[in-house]
Amino acid sequence: MSRVRSLDVMRGVVMVLMAIDHVRVYAGVPAGGPTAGVFFTRWVTHFCAPAFVFLAGTAAYLHGRKLGDTNALLRYLLTRGLMLVVLELTVIRFAWTFNVAYSEFVLAGVIWMLGWCMVLLAALVRFTPRTVGIVGVALMLFQQVFHFVPRALPEPARGAVGVVYEFFYPAGLEGWSAINILYVIIPWIGVMAAGYWFATIMTREPEARDRICLRLGLAATAAFVVLGGLATVMQSTSDEPALFRFLNQGKYPPTQLYLLMTLGPLIALMPVAERARGVIGETFAVFGRVPLFYYLLHIPVIHISALIVGMIREGAMHPEWYASAPYAQVPEANRWGLPLLYLVFVIDVAVLYWPSRWFARVKAARRDGWLQFL
Instruction: Report whether pLDDT(1) > 60.
Output: no
Position 173 scores a pLDDT of 83
Of 228-237, 257-266, 325-334, which gets the smallest average pLDDT? Answer: 228-237
Whole-model pTM: value is: 0.95
Determine the Cα–Cα distance for residues 367 and 166; give it in Å rounded to an integer.
40
Q: How confident is the model at residue 372 (pLDDT cuts 50, 70, 90)?
A: low
DSSP state of 255: P
Averaged pLDDT of the chain: 93
Tens digits of per-residue pLDDT, 134-154? 999 999 999 999 998 887 777
DSSP 50-116: HHHHHHHHHHHHHHHHHHT-HHHHHHHHHHHHHHHHHHIIIIIHHHHHSS--TTT--EE-HHHHHHH
Q: How confident is the model at residue 2 (pLDDT cuts 50, 70, 90)?
A: low
Tens digits of per-residue pLDDT, 50-87? 999 999 999 999 999 999 999 999 999 999 999 999 99
Tens digits of per-residue pLDDT, 89-128? 999 999 999 999 998 899 999 999 999 999 999 999 999 9
Q: How confident is the model at residue 38 (pLDDT cuts 50, 70, 90)?
A: very high
Q: Comparing 32 with 190, which gets the higher pLDDT? A: 190
Tens digits of per-residue pLDDT, 281-301? 999 999 999 999 999 999 999
C-alpha dihedral (84, 90, 95, 100), degrees to nearest 10: 170
Phi, psi (deg, nearest 5) at residue 108: -95, 85
Percent of the chain scored above 90 by pLDDT?
84
Instruction: Report whether pLDDT(371) > 80.
Output: no
